[in-house]
Structure 1
């Protein structure tokens, strides 16, 4: 049993005792120690030192032990009974988020190049109108794709929130998918998260991405929780970006190409996918 009366819970001696206790518990539920060490490829004498709390395993040996018993490195720090209770009570122990994380680190930056994009979607305030906004994509040093977007100024004014750039700006992340990419972000001062998905092209045009965006909030009966959206890469330099910036706001839908108008008007979350 662990000596819980010691005053040095973070001392090497106590931690070795925790690991030894946990390893003895795990070993008792499996085969003989001799057979176990053969399967792990660990020296029997050294394994006995782990069991008795005399030594810690090297990182590579710890990885073997954790993988064999399907545990994580917390067996170095906390009694296994406590970890088992937490596992039963905490659903995150049963959720594997690594596939989602890998989509962030394996982003195809050639299909979605860094730069500024025009965000186009129907206005929630007036029929026949669209909202133009800008989105900035940046590749981080760790190869993840960062998304910077700002809550439109006119919508901030209408909702009574701050119109300052620092208060409207939000940083999000992009996730790679087989036939497109998604983005997750949250505007400052607003409760819902926004999740968007876009294809890698629109009717043969690689610089235009068609998709939709949703909010994690119940909408009024007059509004849909999902809206079609279009991303258009702004080619050129600072002058083209500044011109697009001046165009941001709410404008008539007739200001954009007809094929984009058709997509925004005809898209439905319950209809078959629109040809992109």
Structure 2
């Protein structure tokens, strides 16, 4: 009978059985769960275009598995329903060297971007939560609208022959078609000499990352 009455009036039967302050609707996502929403979830939707604009970015970092090589790539930043997201693709060579498929679906990675301290943080992964990494970026003061510099850390056990952390540079290309196409053509593995000069300078390739 209680169920029929509550259904007729469109109310939750728990309002008659539980204290009101204990009734919670189902969380829409992990980050909105009441246990962490005030700690992590609270800042996820407050990254403005001024702080980190939508559009295309070129990035450079040291390769994790190749000691003397670097990875240059292109990512797209977009906003949906108040959240900021990232999307890009791993270099084909990065997967082929491990005998993995190199189709776009396998190479694609996505992530979320959120404010963090004096900069922003990114949690990025390939499909199925594969090869997850944490990135932190802060603006370059003299070039605040164009460059962000920080580091990336991959979630992997310690390996004496590879890196787990490396410096990272992001360059905003906006929606400039020519710049975007040029960046796409040079995406992949690169030597230090092939890096964009300003990227090479910010990566400080002769200094160990600490």
Q: Shorter chain as normaliser: what TM range? A: 0.7 to 0.9
Question: Cα distance, 1:146 vs. partner?
Answer: 1.1
> Does 2:115 match 1:176?
yes
Paired residue for 2:180? 241
**1:268 corresponds to which residue?**
209
Partner of 1:37: none
Measure how far apart 1:13 and its partner are: 5.5
Against the structure 1 CA distance between its residues 148 and 17, is the aligned structure 2 distance closer, same or farther, given a 3 Å change threshold? closer
More strand by share: 2
Residue in structure 1 matched with residue 97 of structure 2 by the alignment = 158
Q: Deviations over 1:101-142 (max 9, x none)?
A: 2322110211211111111111234333211111111122x2
Greater share of helix residues, 1 or 2?
Answer: 1
Aligned to 2:67: 127
Of 106, 119, 125, 1:186 maps to: 125
User: Aligned residue for 2:151?
Assistant: 212
Equivalent position of 1:99 in the other structure: 39
TM-score normalized by the length of structure 2: 0.80
Q: Deviation at 1:190? A: 6.4
Q: Please tell me whether residue 167 in structure 1 is matched to residue 118 in structure 2.
A: no
- Structure 1, unaligned stretches of length 5 or more? 1-7, 24-64, 78-92, 270-276
Determine if contact 1:100/1:175 at 8 Å carries over to the other structure: no
- In structure 2, the CA distance between the partners of 1:160 and 1:98, relative to structure 1 (3 Å rule), is farther
How far did residue 176 of structure 1 move?
A: 0.9
Number of residue pairs matched by the alignment? 198
TM-score (norm 1): 0.62
From 194, 201, 206, give the equivalent of 1:259. 201
2:130 aligns to what SS in structure 1?
coil
- The separation in 2 between residues aligned to 1:181 and 1:10, in whole angstroms, is 48
Q: Tell me the equivalent position of 1:137.
A: 77
Q: 1:98 to 1:161 in 2, by over 3 A?
A: farther
Computing the radius of gyration from Cα coordinates, the structure with the larger value is 1
Q: Is the 8 A contact 2:167 2:203 kept in 1?
A: no
CA deviations on 1:154-213 (whole Å, 9 max, x unpaired) are 101112222111221122110112411011121136634211110122x52221111111
Q: Retained in 2: the 8 A contact 1:228–1:267?
A: no
Higher RCO, 1 or 2 (CA under 8 Å, sep at least 6)?
Answer: 2
The answer to whether the 8 Å contact 1:254/1:261 transfers is no
CA RMSD, 1 decimal: 2.9
Q: Per the alignment, do residues 234 and 13 of structure 1 end up closer, same or farther by CA in structure 2, a change over 3 Å counting?
A: closer
